[in-house]
A and B are shown apart, each in its own frame.
Chain A
Amino acid sequence: MATDNQAPIDQPPLRSQSLLYGIVGQETRQVTRQVPADEPPQLPVNAELRSIGKPIRRLDAVQKVTGTAKYTFDVQLPGMLYARQVVCPWPHAKVISIDTSAAESYPGVRAVHVLETLLQTARLRDPEAEARNKYPTVRFAGQTVAAVAAETQRIADQAAKLVKVEYERLPHVSELVAAMDDEAPIVFPGPVEQPSTAGGGGAPEGLPQKGNVRGPNFGMPGMTPTGDIDQGLAEADVVVEAEYRTQVQTHVPMETHGIVADWRDDELTIYASTQHTHSVRDEAAEYFDLPKSKIRVISDFTGGGFGAKYGINNFGLLAIHLSQKAGAPVRMMLDRREEHVSAGNRPNSLQRVRIGAKQDGTLTAIDVISWGTGGIAGGAGIGFCYNALYPCPNMRTEQYDVFTNAGPCAAFRAPGQVQGIFSLEQAMDELADRLQLDPIMLRERIDTKPTDDMLARAHERKIAAERFGWDRRRPPNSDAGPVKRGMGMAQAQWVYVVSPPTTVEVRIADDGSVSVYNSAQDIGTGTRTVLAQVVAEEFGLDAENIGVYIGDTRFPWGPPSGGSRVTASVTAPARNAAYAAARDLAARLAPLFDDADPDDIFFAGGKVGVRGNEGAARPLKEAAKEAKFGEISKLAKRHDDYEGFVLSGETSISRHGLGGVQFAEVAVDVETGVVKVERVVAASDCGRPINPKLVESQVIGGIIQGVSYAIYEDRIMDATSGHQLNANVDQYRMVGSRETPEIEVLLIEQIGAQSSTDARGIAEASNVATSAAIANAFYNATGKRIRTLPMNPANVLAALSA
């Protein structure tokens, strides 16, 4: 992660304040917190608000249904050239020589560039081993070597084939277990490092590495082993022990990765399909030695990302070089094959799990060891769910990265956690079964950490079980025929992350119209809409009346769309800025109301008035014109949470997390091995929902991705050639309309008393529990455990005959 906006955040004086806390409609109480003195008063519950908490339409929906929303893919600039990468067909090779002359002289070609520095890869701790190589070593089939820019895409495609590259092939290994063998071909000639992106992934520095196996990694701070596993297992009445396997999943955003680079003498402009405009700017500055002030990154609309779209990437490096050489803008969009092969994936996993418990469910030991491969990148762990969900005195999660000759992994919607919860929540289901406890009852007993997400899950279990009809669940394998139905449940946990450097500007023009500015992009979550709703609340306006300007590094620093942090990060500063602007406006308009006390000035329904004399309220626009106050502009940041964070910095992490509980009903055809997910009920929490409709959309999307992962998706590598066999969307199977289950989302409103909006993210908490809920339903249907993903016919029939 190249972004280094680590400016210390001013710590203003604090005031002690009593705040509402709890789940609205359930149990709420007052808590006392230390609140920065300049924070606005706490918002009341959503039912008492006008704009926040309302399921209004997405502000950019009309642009999206009429085709006027412009994605990076749609950017067309005068004189723009089209680029195509030259990629290596071999999974492991040394590049001996590159001859670009034929491509360069091809009519219509304007520039050719050979890649000198490879991004999106783990890096040798000691680069000496490859220091004398002229070009980066190729470590996966499809790795980029060079690129050409030409007047049309067709010419670029054709000219790319004319670049002659001489390779010296090296032995390769593309499969996890094979790569763990002591005799396996070595992917890197020495130990490597892999920093994480804003979306997660990566691994700590300095881990031991033997051959292709790097670790052990005990995960994030706070995950170091505790207690004594052997003793814990000895104390247990019941031990469940099993091996779980998950597959590699690719992100498949419908808009592929890409940028349009426009290098001018005085400024570099980059249009990027990205999850963080500033990460693109910062990497471009680093690799081209430019001041950040001379780089502008624009992302009006991003067609999905799911964790993989950060920074400039290899294709971006090439496009910027090509633009510089050609003196013209260059469009570089990956094609679908490149997207699958080189733009990121969720690593697979092999997990060995041992859990011990007393007869009453009390956990005595949790021991997990996992291996996974993220190809040539690290970050193949199984997240932090084992440590975050259920307290246990004796606990160890030991994780290993295994390098293979395959494309680099990238953060993918709840990196690691999706794999970890698949095994953890199945193990808990198995434990409940062995202890003859209802799985919900077991969770009641063991889900006890003093966090907001624990409280949320306790409530969610109740409401979701009732809506789902959990009491109709039958004993395992109750159906006599070949199609067996069953029900299962699983719990979710994800971190509550905030980027405190986030700064939002709110302006009031002299006609009283209001606009809001932040550089954050919208990848489909509704960033524009939630910003407008929060600002509108302070001015008594409708969200549609607020001008929202985002996705441009010319605006104040915005967070990455990663780690489910945007809403938490942008709404609090937006409210803080809007509140300050509205108070300023009130002071300037007070003279129009017989010099009323500005504190008595209110804004509602597009009007401004004085409390106590509501009848004299007048249109804001008219009052603004009369007051002639020029323009008001307020910038505000996101303070630390009122309780502080456990980890502070650009990515600040709360001790509280996000919960979520999902229930699934499946039908398993035991003759064909076909699994159909028929129904999912999800209860979800995201603090205070700013727009419940958009939250629900995201939860539905998370569940659908979870079903897709559980049943269909699977990157298939051919061991012999080292190529992905299904690098397209016809053979890489995903959920479509016919595979979509019936989905119901129950959303709670939880006030955490931590910020001026108390909003939290939802994206990742919504897809982590799905595959485990389905697997538990599979067990309930068939009486057999399915511990290998995806649940395709081959894996299902194998599980049934085990």
Chain B
Amino acid sequence: MAESSRSHGPDGSVRSGISRRTFLKHGGTSAVGAALLEAGAAQAAVDSSMQDGANEVLGPGPIPIDLTINGRRVPVQAEPATTLVDILRNHLGLTGTKIGCDRGACSACTVWLDGQPASSCMTLALDARGRSITTIEGLADGDNLHPVQQAFVEHDALQCGFCTPGMVMSCAALINRKPDAGIEDVKAAISGHLCRCGTYPNIFAAVLAVASENRRRGT
């Protein structure tokens, strides 16, 4: 899978003729991936950045990016166009986060940014600066699995397991946010996730078991 197959070259230029350098002057506007930016929108970004001469110029070569991953400060050197999933997997060897589509359509790459699920294939590493990043590797507390991980194991909420890290991250975020989640909450939480093996019913059962345990304990 192209982990960084954006429509730009290694020299930082994009094919539309707008240089990534100019684009990034904008300072990482949002989590929207460059791949999905229509040419018009890119032009608008350029126009607005032109008026804003005070913005710093980043790239096109590698720049230092400071990230906080699983509670640890992690400085990396990467081109500004690098996605968060590329950093996690290819710079840091955190391969638990998967890629299923590389365009925001399958949620296999889900991590947390400040506790909220986000598609790391659609997030520039730059935009994750200053935020607390949690990956599947950082979810368990040492050897103690997160209750959602434990429930996935017990309810066999996985087959090939390739979608599982992403599923776990979204379900764990749901339980953290809403400890007594119901079935509709679970369906909504993973509605953007694809599982080709068809583990959905067992995922529902796993998360609902955690929720009912939470209800029983009054959390």
Given A66-B139, A70-B95, A157-B5, CB of A730 within 8 Å of CB of B158: no
B residues within 8 A CB of A696?
Answer: 156
CB-based nearest B residue for A150: B10
Q: What string of 1s and 0s marks CB contacts (under 8 Å) between B141-162 and chain A?
A: 0000100010011101011111
Interface digits, A300-321 against B, CB 8 Å rule (1 contact, 0 not)?
0111101000000000000000
Asked whether A737 lies within 8 Å of B149 as measured between CB atoms, the reply is no
A738 on the interface (CB 8 Å rule)? Answer: yes
Give per-residue flags for B101-123: 1 if the beta carbon is below 8 A from chain A beta carbons, else 0: 11111101000000000000000
CA distance A738 to B190 in the complex (A): 9
CA distance A120 to B182 in the complex (A): 46
Question: A439 → chain B, closest Cβ, in Å?
Answer: 26
A60 contacts across to B, CB distance below 8 A: 161
User: How many angstroms between the C-alpha atoms of A701 and B99 in the bound complex?
Assistant: 21
For the A-B complex, the count of residue pairs with Cβ-Cβ distances under 8 Å equals 198
Check A158/B98 contact, CB under 8 A, given A66-B139, A66-B149, A335-B2.
no
Q: Is B1 an interface residue (CB 8 A)?
A: yes
Tell me how far the C-beta of A351 lies from the nearest C-beta in chain B, rounded to whole angstroms. 26
Contact B164 A701 (CB under 8 A): no
Question: Do A62 and B1 touch (CB < 8 A)?
Answer: no
Tell me whether A734 and B194 are in contact (CB under 8 A).
yes
When the two chains form their complex, are residues B101 and A729 in contact, meaning their CB atoms are under 8 A apart? yes
Contact partner of B160 among A108, A155, A255, CB < 8 A?
A255
Q: Are A254 and B159 in contact (CB under 8 A)?
A: no
Give the complex CA separation of A319 and B168 in angstroms: 33
State whether A256 and B1 are in contact (beta carbons under 8 Å apart), knowing that A74-B95, A304-B196, A694-B156 are contacts in the complex: yes
Residue A629, interface by CB 8 Å:
no
**CA–CA, A74 and B196, complex, Å:** 19
B1→A336 contact, CB < 8 A: yes
B164 in contact with A158 (CB, 8 Å):
no
Name the A residues within 8 Å of B105 (CB-CB).
728-730
Q: Which residues, 67 to 111 on A, are CB-close (under 8 Å) to B?
A: 67-71, 73-74, 76, 84, 108
The answer to the question of B212 belonging to the interface, with a C-beta cut-off of 8 Å to chain A, is no
**Whole-angstrom distance between the Cβ of A275 and the nearest chain B Cβ:** 11
In chain A between 604 and 657, which residues have their CB closer than 8 angstroms to a CB of chain B? Answer: none
Contact A67 B96 (CB under 8 A): yes
Chain A binder among B26-34, B47-55, B199-207:
B199-207
Stretch from A260-268, A283-291, A381-389, A702-710 at the B interface: A702-710
Residue A8 lies at the interface, judged by CB distance under 8 Å to chain B:
no
- The residue in chain A whose Cβ has the minimal distance to the Cβ of B194 is A729
* CB neighbors of A among B176-219 (8 A): 186-188, 190-204
- Partner of B202 from the list A153, A334, A700, A735 (CB cut-off 8 Å) is A700
B59 part of interface (Cβ distance < 8 Å)? no
Tell whether, in the assembled complex, residue B153 and residue A705 are in contact, meaning their CB atoms are under 8 Å apart: no
A362 in the interface (beta carbon within 8 A): no
Contact assessment for B93 and A76 in the assembled complex, using a CB-CB cutoff below 8 Å = yes
- Is A292 an interface position by the 8 A CB rule? no
A153-B100 contact given A254-B106, A255-B160, A729-B105, CB 8 Å threshold: no
Chain A residues with Cβ under 8 A from B3's Cβ?
153
Please determine whether A61 and B158 come into contact, CB atoms closer than 8 angstroms: yes
Q: Name A741's closest neighbour in chain B (CB-CB).
A: B201
Residue of A nearest to B97 (CB): A67
One of A58, A335, A734, A737 near B153 (C-beta < 8 A): A58
A61 contacts B200, C-beta separation under 8 Å: no
Contact B194 A254 (CB under 8 A): yes
Residue B37, interface by CB 8 Å: no
Give Cα distance in the complex from A694 to B154, angstroms. Answer: 11
Question: For residue A258, which residue of chain B has the nearest CB?
Answer: B1
Bound CA span A304–B195, Å: 10
| Beta-carbon contact of B145 and A158 below 8 Å | no
**Which range holds the interface residue count of chain B?**
35 or more
**B191 near A737 (CB under 8 angstroms)?**
yes
B residues 1-28 in Cβ contact with A at 8 Å? 1-6, 9-10
- Cβ of A524 within 8 Å of any chain B Cβ, yes or no, is yes
Interface of B is mostly: loop
Asked if A65 is an interface residue, CB under 8 A from chain B, the answer is yes
| Across-interface contacts of B95 in A (CB, < 8 A) | 67, 70, 73-74, 76
**Closest CB of chain B to A50's CB: distance in Å?**
20
Task: Check B156–A336 contact: CB distance below 8 A.
Answer: no
From B6, B96, B152, name the one whose CB has the most chain A CB atoms within 10 angstroms.
Answer: B96
Is the Cβ of B153 less than 8 Å from the Cβ of A61?
yes
A23 within 8 Å of B by Cβ?
no
Q: Confirm or deny: A434 has a beta carbon within 8 angstroms of a beta carbon on chain B.
A: no
Q: How large is the interface on A (under 10, 10 to 19, 20 to 34, 35 or more residues)?
A: 35 or more
Q: Flag if B187 contacts A303 (CB, 8 Å).
A: no
* In the complex with contacts A58-B158, A730-B103, A734-B194, A697-B10 CB distance below 8 A: no
Measured in the bound complex, the distance between the Cα atoms of B106 and A432 in whole Å is 42
Q: B140 an interface residue at 8 Å Cβ cutoff?
A: yes
Q: What's the least CB distance linking B42 to chain A, in Å?
A: 19
Q: Cβ of B80 < 8 Å from any Cβ of A? A: no
CA distance A302 to B200 in the complex (A): 19
Given contacts A254-B163, A701-B159, A701-B197, contact A68 B101 (CB under 8 A): no
B186 to chain A, nearest CB (A): 7
In the assembled complex, the CB of A608 is this many whole angstroms from the nearest CB of chain B, namely: 31
Q: What residues of chain A lie closer than 8 Å to B2, measured between beta carbons?
A: 84, 153, 157, 335
- Which of B10, B106, B108 has most A Cβ within 10 Å? B10
Query: Which of B152, B193, B201, B202: most chain A Cβ within 10 A?
Result: B201
How far does the Cβ of B153 sit from chain A's closest Cβ, in whole Å?
A: 4
Q: Which residues of A contact B153 (CB under 8 A)?
A: 57-58, 61-62, 65
List of A residues within 8 angstroms of B191 by Cβ: 736-738
Chain B 82-96: CB-based contact to A (< 8 A → 1; otherwise 0): 000000011001111
Whether A524 lies near B197 (C-beta < 8 A) is: yes
Bound-state Cα–Cα, A334 to B99, Å:
11
Choose one: A58, A254, A698, A700; the contact of B100 (CB below 8 Å): A254
Residue of B nearest to A56 (CB): B156
**Which of these, B96, B98, B160, B192, contacts A66 with CB under 8 Å?**
B96
The chain B residue sitting closest to A739, CB to CB, is B200
Whole-angstrom distance between the Cβ of A3 and the nearest chain B Cβ:
22
Contact indicator A73/B1 (Cβ below 8 Å): yes
Q: Which of B5, B103, B198 contacts A703 (CB 8 A)?
A: B198
Asked if B102 and A336 sit within 8 Å, CB to CB, the answer is yes
Nearest-neighbour CB distance to chain B for A456, whole angstroms, equals 22
The answer, yes or no, to whether B136 is at the interface (CB within 8 Å) is: yes
- Our pick among A68, A254, A702, A730 for the contact of B162 (Cβ within 8 Å) is A254
Any B CB within 8 A of the CB of A556: no
A304 touches B197 (CB 8 A): yes
| Complexed CA–CA distance, A70 and B194 (Å) | 20
Neighbour of A301 across the interface among B1, B100, B104, B161, CB < 8 A: B161
Q: Are A254 and B98 in contact (CB under 8 A)?
A: yes
* Chain B: CB-nearest residue to A742: B201
Which chain A residues lie closer than 8 Å to B202 at the CB level?
697, 700
B-side contacts of A252, CB under 8 Å? 194, 196
CB closest residue in chain B, given A301:
B161
Which B-chain residue is minimally distant from A253 (CB atoms)?
Answer: B196
Distance in angstroms between the alpha carbons of A67 and B204 in the assembled complex: 20
List chain B residues, Cβ under 8 A from A157: 2, 4-5
Inter-chain contacts of B192 with A (CB < 8 A): 736
CA distance in complex: A256, B106 (Å): 13
Instruction: Report the 9 A-B pairs with minimum CB-CB distance, sorted nearest first.
Output: A67-B96, A524-B160, A303-B162, A704-B198, A64-B161, A701-B198, A67-B136, A74-B95, A524-B159
Which residues does B use to contact A, with CB under 8 Å? 1-6, 9-10, 89-90, 93-106, 108, 135-137, 139-140, 145, 149, 152-154, 156, 158-165, 168, 186-188, 190-204
**Contact sample, A vs B, 16 pairs, CB 8 Å cutoff:** A65-B145, A65-B164, A66-B149, A67-B97, A108-B10, A153-B5, A251-B196, A301-B160, A303-B160, A304-B197, A336-B103, A697-B159, A697-B199, A701-B159, A729-B106, A738-B191
Known: A65-B164, A66-B140, A730-B103; 16 extra A-B contacts, CB below 8 A, are A57-B156, A61-B153, A62-B153, A65-B149, A65-B165, A153-B2, A153-B5, A153-B90, A303-B162, A304-B197, A336-B101, A700-B202, A704-B198, A738-B187, A738-B191, A740-B200
